[in-house]
Amino acid sequence: MTEKAAPRSERSQARRFAGWREHHGWSAAASLRRLGGRPLGTLMTVAVLGLALALPLAFYLLLANVQSMGNALGQNPAVSVFLKTDQAGAQANLLAGELRGRADVAAVTVKTPQQGLDELATLQGFSGAVHALDDANPLPWVLVVQPRTGLDAAAVDKLVESLRGERAVDLVQDSSQWRQRLDALLDVGHRAVLVLAGLLALAALLVVGNTVRTDIASRSEEIGVLMLLGASRAFVRRPYLYAGIWYGLFGGVLASLLAMAIELALAGPAAELDRAYGGRLMLGALPWWLLLAVPLAAAVLGWVGARLVSAWQLRKAA
């Protein structure tokens, strides 16, 4: 008796699983046909979702490239030390030798007043002023101090303060300060992108939920008949869950396509900018895994919105 009951139970479970799988396939196909039956409404919903999800991608692309530019331009920040005008080359070379012996200094370059004048003459708008000068050169000796690689901001600040304390030094310019300000701005930007992405994801969830709610309300009589015939809530809401998945998936695909279109639109100006800086900017595109993850995440988001709304609507209709 037990041996006969076991195969019968296994066959029953197999039939239930086959029925469950068949209904999932029918629900996915039926919901897709239903979306295709109202193309205008579907396109409008997908367009709203795509635009909402593309905005965080665009801002992420902008911030990532600004950070790459900062990394490229801010590599090996130098400290310019301007000596007093009464200091001669001997004092400049002596101070440079002392600085090269410091543990927090990687290299020191000595620039003569004539080198500074030549560099000034190459700048636009300064050539005439340079030629108008007499033989006397008003520029001081300059030491370009390269901090040791790996120094944190506090150590660089300490180095700058010690340089300012030198008797022969008139002015110290720290080029790493702009990078610190840029990093602070980028931190604010990353936080803003996360907040924006969360708000737009919530907006996408509400859009899908409202669309599914309208669909359920328009089929309230059909749903009532199914529930009178004994259909479970899971059975009834399954097509609407797939509708939410389709909405999210198509909206996510559109968002990724819009992000790639933005990349293509900016590719030409970005290449010109990179060439202007000698190819050091290392501007890039959105990673492929992110472009693939957006449709999947949007599909999950659509499922969540449809699940919440359909459960509430069916509970109210019961």
Q: With contact defined as beta carbons under 8 Å apart, do 314 and 223 qualify? A: yes
Determine phi and psi for 144, rounding to 5 degrees: -100, 105
Tokens of 48: 């709203």
Give mean pLDDT, residues 291-311: 92
pLDDT digits (tens, 9 = 90+) for 135-194: 667 788 888 888 887 777 778 888 888 888 888 888 888 776 676 777 788 888 889 888
Determine phi and psi for 82, rounding to 5 degrees: -95, 120
pLDDT digits (tens, 9 = 90+) for 281-296: 667 788 899 999 999 9
pLDDT digits (tens, 9 = 90+) for 94-105: 888 888 888 888
pTM given for the model: 0.69
Q: Work out the number of other CB atoms within 10 angstroms of the CB of residue 81.
A: 27
Tokens of 65: 């490239």
Q: What is the CATH number of domain 85-167?
A: 3.30.70
pLDDT digits (tens, 9 = 90+) for 29-56: 888 898 888 899 899 999 999 999 999 9
Distance CA 48, CA 11 (A): 47
DSSP 150: T
Q: Is 132 helix (H, G, I), strand (E, B) or coil?
A: coil
Sheet holding 79-83, edge to edge: 105-111, 142-147, 79-83, 169-174
Tokens of 308: 């919440």
Tokens of 52: 């909402």
**Which residue has 């800086």 as its token pair?**
277
User: What is the average pLDDT value for the chain, to the nearest integer?
Assistant: 82
Q: Sign (positive/negative) of CA torsion 239, 243, 249, 253?
A: positive
Q: How wide is the angle at C-alpha 241 spanned by C-alphas 236 and 246, nearest 5°?
A: 140
Distance CA 211, CA 44 (A): 11
- Domain extents for the chain? 25-73+181-317, 85-167
Query: Residue type for 216, please?
Result: I
